[in-house]
Structure 1
């Protein structure tokens, strides 16, 4: 894969050679950051391209555009080295501002339409919700902020995952993107470095669902109570009910309750694998933790990989909890990039 450098004006473009292969990393965290980090040394071969490595220049890599936001230049004898952090172009949403506000119940689609009008600055978006999990949310004076912060609010309010493809934004219900794979994460098996937070505060084992009402204000079928098999271990812990007038088929509501019930502990943490794997961001992997007798699928919500080191394993962030969402996009702000 080539690394392309393009100047801010978009008038010059070169292949960037002599990048330190060991220094080149790509870091993706769900709804939080997407960046490249690398060092490049000036040589006779990359003399022209090296001059293009400046703040606000673009790095084109693996089909995505990144903007150089942080850079330092160091001299070591006759060698000049630039240390670069380039942030994915989606974060440049911060340069747009919506001055108008809206109040009242709004869908995620309605709020995104509000954010990106009248000037979308080249950004496009779509909401992908085949099971109609997104509901409307009461908003008060939503707006009057930059696009990035407003999108952050939307992701928090609607519990969404944002997938980016350059300036195209795709919004899925959290957990609705990714596939299950058969590569387990297990201490002492494929990792010796593991750190997890396991939280049972929100653990629930029973939930009740209320279906649609007919014209006589009666339910079309009796409300359903679902009790998880985990109740044998943890006892009866009641979750807030599901009240959704769309349900007229009992089986469909039962399936919704099973998916909605938070009947395993919230788990979040990170691992460094001992060897290379095929695990990708948003994959669901088996997580085995014997002390709490946990054997469940958990999602990869962050990954740091080293594209030019074929034998270097990735570092993973795993989570099955909404906790990951509470810090949406704040990583860039804390680092002073935004």
Structure 2
């Protein structure tokens, strides 16, 4: 697979040679980072492509377009190098701004329509929700910000993920995207560098949900409050989580799905591993995580992935989490607790 540089005007492109293969990394973090980094050395055969490595020019890799946003040039005698960070073209969402605001109950699609009505910047989008998990959410003064921040707000409010195929954006409910893979990650057995934070501070086994109230009678609900008790209560006993109180729900079956999704009935697990094996893992895949001391054998989602495509023998570095935190808060928590 070739790394290609293209000028900003999109009139010239060249295959990049002189890449330090050990420097080439691709990093993905849930809903936050999609970037590649590399070092290129000037030699007698690559002056044209070397000169194309400039701010705001494009890097093409594996069918995706990246934009050079950070670069450090260095000279040592006759040796010239550039250390490059190129971000996925979806970073251009930061360049659009929606001044108008709206208030009221809105769906994901309605909010995206509002975001891009000011000008789409070449982006297109679609919402993929096979099981109708997305519901309308009450919004207040949604707007008056750049497209990226508004989309981040949507992802947070609707517990969604965004997958960008260049400038075409896909929006999924968080649990609906990612393959279930069978390559086990067995703590301290098939991993090298391992840093995990496992705690039971928020371990709960029961939760109650309250839906919409009758508009004519504040003491009456559309359906009786629902209590869900996890099978894990047989092991850990009854531990009650804060209730869900959400007037978007008028159907008991939908509330029950929400309760099962929200209940933290396994220990919270976040951490990073460097695998000993090569595997075709992707961001948002679910892998079996085994930790014998707490009898944990759970599928946990990949929320961060650093790959080394030019070093076929070097396995990826993986960040896993079963919490509902953002990637930023996961990493901050790991750093705070001395895990990273």
TM bucket (normalised to shorter chain) is: 0.7 to 0.9
Listed one character per residue, the Cα deviations across residues 22-67 of structure 1 (whole Å, up to 9, x for unaligned) are: 1111001111100010011112221111111100000010000000
Identify which of 280, 284, 291 aligns with 2:282: 280
Using the TM superposition, give the Cα deviation of residue 236 of structure 1 relative to its aligned residue in structure 2, in angstroms. 1.3
Using the TM superposition, give the Cα deviation of residue 268 of structure 1 relative to its aligned residue in structure 2, in angstroms. 1.2
Query: Secondary structure in 1 aligned to 2:325?
Result: helix
Identify which of 222, 235, 250 aligns with 1:245: 250
Alignment correspondent of 1:308: 310
Alignment correspondent of 1:49: 49
Query: Secondary structure in 2 aligned to 1:323?
Result: coil
Alignment correspondent of 1:334: none
Counterpart Cα distance in 1 of 2:211 and 2:149: 36
Alignment correspondent of 1:27: 27
Counterpart Cα distance in 1 of 2:71 and 2:165: 24
Which consecutive aligned stretches of 4+ in structure 1 deviate over 6 angstroms post-superposition?
A: 210-214, 216-222
Structure 1 residues 224 and 140 mapped into 2: Cα distance closer, same or farther (>3 Å)?
Answer: closer
Using the TM superposition, give the Cα deviation of residue 326 of structure 1 relative to its aligned residue in structure 2, in angstroms. 6.0
Counterpart Cα distance in 2 of 1:119 and 1:197: 43
Listed one character per residue, the Cα deviations across residues 108-150 of structure 1 (whole Å, up to 9, x for unaligned) are: 1111111111301011111111122222222211111111111
Counterpart Cα distance in 2 of 1:100 and 1:18: 48
Indicate conservation of the 8 Å contact 2:303/2:327, yes or no.
Answer: no
The runs of 5 or more residues in structure 1 that have no matched partner are 331-338
Query: Secondary structure in 2 aligned to 1:94?
Result: helix
Listed one character per residue, the Cα deviations across residues 202-250 of structure 1 (whole Å, up to 9, x for unaligned) are: 3321234578999x99989876533212113322123324763235xx6
Structure 1 residues 84 and 152 mapped into 2: Cα distance closer, same or farther (>3 Å)?
Answer: same
Structure 1 residues 32 and 4 mapped into 2: Cα distance closer, same or farther (>3 Å)?
Answer: same
Using the TM superposition, give the Cα deviation of residue 190 of structure 1 relative to its aligned residue in structure 2, in angstroms. 1.2
Counterpart Cα distance in 2 of 1:155 and 1:253: 20
Aligned length: 326
Counterpart Cα distance in 2 of 1:90 and 1:220: 42
Counterpart Cα distance in 2 of 1:118 and 1:9: 24
Identify which of 266, 273, 297 aligns with 2:268: 266
The runs of 5 or more residues in structure 2 that have no matched partner are 333-340
> With structure 2 as the length reference, what TM-score do the two structures score?
0.87
Query: Secondary structure in 1 aligned to 2:301?
Result: strand
Indicate conservation of the 8 Å contact 1:212/1:246, yes or no.
Answer: no
Indicate conservation of the 8 Å contact 2:159/2:173, yes or no.
Answer: yes
Superposition RMSD in Å = 2.6
Alignment correspondent of 1:299: 301
Alignment correspondent of 1:183: 183
Using the TM superposition, give the Cα deviation of residue 315 of structure 1 relative to its aligned residue in structure 2, in angstroms. 0.2
Query: Secondary structure in 2 aligned to 1:175?
Result: helix
Counterpart Cα distance in 2 of 1:72 and 1:256: 48
Indicate conservation of the 8 Å contact 1:156/1:326, yes or no.
Answer: no
Using the TM superposition, give the Cα deviation of residue 260 of structure 1 relative to its aligned residue in structure 2, in angstroms. 4.1
After alignment, is 53-62 or 8-17 more displaced?
8-17
> With structure 1 as the length reference, what TM-score do the two structures score?
0.88
- The equivalences for 1:129-168 within 5 A come to 129-168=129-168
Alignment correspondent of 2:7: 7
